[in-house]
């Protein structure tokens, strides 16, 4: 069914709350909600009522201004027509990611375009509506929704109608990354919203690489949520890369729970265009759990890329390290707002946060806000942030060696970004090329 559920348009003076809550009730009246998710949808709607649409004074949106979102015309939810979806799947099957890919189209899991046969049974993918019949899976998702503080993650939980659950067998070691693609492809000339949701669980001792990508040329509001659960001694290497079009608004929430001696290595790469905000929440829930987080951004024009990260040390002897590098040019903006929370009794905690911002034009802006909240004394935690411009001395040195100014600037910017790229070598090659192409060279 192709249905317009809500409209946010400056020509129609409806409030933000009506656009979400009223649209939800209209969906319910039309029988468009998935019965399996009704309890989750209703709990999320209550969270939306409590949270309210975030303004600039909202603690989670200090640097990410979303006030412009209601001014764009959004066909609240776009449900792909069956015939159109079939044609799209046939077209995309020719260029799909092979036998290691899970695909979402307009927020709907596509079994036709998903194939994990390369993992020889070590990876199981099922509809989320089936997976939540498992009590542990349902409880994990419901608890996440009930304590949700991110408006757009709650929006996903209220409106999602489909999803996928991925299970990696205990002890399995995947020899190549599993790619999860979210593609926005509305009917011609329309805008819309997409709400993909994924649950990922790695069994004890399992190791897997997870690549999350989003793409689409049309204007859209995308709110994606990923819940990751790592068993004891499991290792997940995760990369998020967004490539949506200009005029798009892209929000994501990745929530990770790491058990005893498990490890989460998370990476994020942003290159615009449009608006991107990534919310990362990591709970180091078992003794000896660890997290490495790397973010790298190269944005230009009027693009925006924002990271909001919270890492919780909820058990003794946990380790976390965060490293971010943002290069901004034109009138673009980038920000990193990150906090490490060490709970009472979580002795032996080690943590480091490092944020660097490089400004390439007078109109660009980079914000950095590392923070620590420590509730015991036995810790080794530090944080630092630096935002500045290219070094005139370094630029002069390269130019004095006969290197043209633009080439010299490009070399310095690439060197700046490569320090972050070096932290995730398995993803770096292709991502680095994309990032370098997005920089508007200039030195003001």
Mean pLDDT by 10 residues, the chain (444 residues): 35 50 69 85 91 83 82 44 52 57 87 89 94 93 94 92 94 95 73 87 98 77 93 97 75 97 95 88 98 94 94 98 94 96 96 96 94 94 93 83 85 89 84 75 51
Q: Which of these, 127, 26, 129, 148, lies nearest to 77 by C-alpha position?
A: 26
- What is the pLDDT, as a whole number, of residue 1? 33
Contact 231, 243 (CB under 8 A): no
Q: Read off the tokens for 255.
A: 């929530």
Which residues on adjacent β-strands are paired with residue 349? 379
Q: Which of these, 209, 197, 239, lies nearest to 104 by C-alpha position?
A: 197
Q: Is the dihedral of CA 68, 71, 74, 76 positive or negative?
A: positive
User: What separation in angstroms does the CA of 422 have from each of 252, 415, 417, 431?
Assistant: 24, 11, 9, 11
3-state secondary structure of 260: coil
Which residues on adjacent β-strands are paired with residue 216? 244
- What is the pLDDT, as a whole number, of residue 352? 97
- What is the pLDDT, as a whole number, of residue 73? 38
Give all strands (DSSP E) within 169-289, no chain letters.
178-183, 192-194, 197-202, 207-216, 220-230, 235-244, 249-258, 263-270, 275-284
User: What separation in angstroms does the CA of 133 have from each of 24, 139, 141?
Assistant: 24, 10, 12
Angle (CA) 169-175-178 rounded to 5° is 70
Contact 203, 172 (CB under 8 A): yes
3-state secondary structure of 298: strand
Respond yes or no on whether the N-terminal peptide bond of residue 273 is cis (omega within 30° of 0). yes
- What is the pLDDT, as a whole number, of residue 81? 43
What burial letters (b/e) apply to 251-263, b meaning 16+ CB within 10 Å? bbbbbbbbbbbbb
Q: Read off the tokens for 87.
A: 């044609």
- What is the pLDDT, as a whole number, of residue 108? 86
Q: Which of these, 263, 209, 195, 207, lies nearest to 240 by C-alpha position?
A: 209
């Amino acid at each position: 069914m192709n249905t317009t559920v809500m409209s946010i348009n400056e020509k129609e003076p409806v409030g933000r709350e009506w656009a979400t809550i009223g649209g939800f009730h209209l969906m319910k009246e039309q029988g468009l909600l998935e019965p399996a998710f009704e309890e989750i949808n209703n709990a999320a709607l209550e969270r939306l009522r409590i949270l309210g649409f975030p303004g600039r004074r909202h603690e989670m949106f200090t640097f990410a201004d979303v006030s412009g979102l209601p001014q764009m015309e959004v066909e609240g939810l776009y449900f792909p027509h069956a015939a159109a979806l079939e044609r799209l799947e046939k077209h995309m099957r020719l260029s799909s990611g092979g036998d290691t890919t899970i695909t979402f189209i307009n927020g709907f899991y596509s079994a036709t375009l998903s194939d994990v046969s390369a993992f020889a049974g070590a990876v199981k993918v099922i509809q989320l509506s089936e997976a939540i019949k498992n009590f542990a899976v349902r409880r994990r998702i419901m608890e996440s929704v009930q304590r949700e503080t991110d408006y757009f993650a709650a929006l996903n939980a209220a409106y999602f109608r489909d999803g996928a659950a991925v299970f990696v067998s205990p002890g399995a070691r995947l020899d190549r990354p599993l790619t999860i693609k979210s593609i926005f492809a509305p009917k011609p000339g329309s805008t819309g919203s997409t709400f993909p949701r994924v649950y990922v669980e790695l069994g004890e001792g399992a190791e897997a690489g997870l690549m999350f990508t989003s793409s689409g040329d049309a204007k859209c509001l995308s709110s994606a949520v990923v819940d990751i659960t790592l068993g004891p001694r499991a290792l997940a290497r995760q990369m998020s890369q967004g490539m949506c079009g200009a005029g798009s608004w892209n929000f994501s929430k990745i929530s990770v729970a790491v058990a005893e001696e498990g490890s989460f290595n998370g990476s994020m790469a942003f290159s615009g265009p449009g608006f991107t905000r990534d919310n990362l929440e990591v709970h180091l829930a078992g003794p000896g759990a660890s997290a490495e987080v790397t973010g790298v951004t190269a944005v230009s024009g009027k693009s925006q890329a924002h990271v909001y990260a919270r890492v919780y040390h909820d058990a003794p002897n946990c380790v976390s390290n965060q490293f971010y590098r943002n290069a901004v040019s034109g009138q673009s903006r980038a920000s990193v707002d990150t906090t490490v929370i060490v709970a009472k009794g979580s002795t032996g905690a080690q943590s480091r946060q490092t944020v660097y911002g490089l400004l390439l034009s007078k109109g660009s802006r980079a914000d950095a806000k590392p923070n620590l909240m420590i509730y015991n004394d036995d810790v080794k935690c530090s944080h630092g942030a630096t935002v500045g411009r290219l070094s005139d001395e370094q630029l002069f040195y390269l130019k004095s060696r006969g290197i043209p100014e633009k080439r010299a600037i490009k070399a310095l910017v690439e060197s700046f970004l490569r320090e972050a790229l070096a932290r995730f070598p398995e993803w770096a090659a292709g991502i680095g090329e994309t990032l370098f192409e997005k920089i508007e060279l200039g030195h003001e």
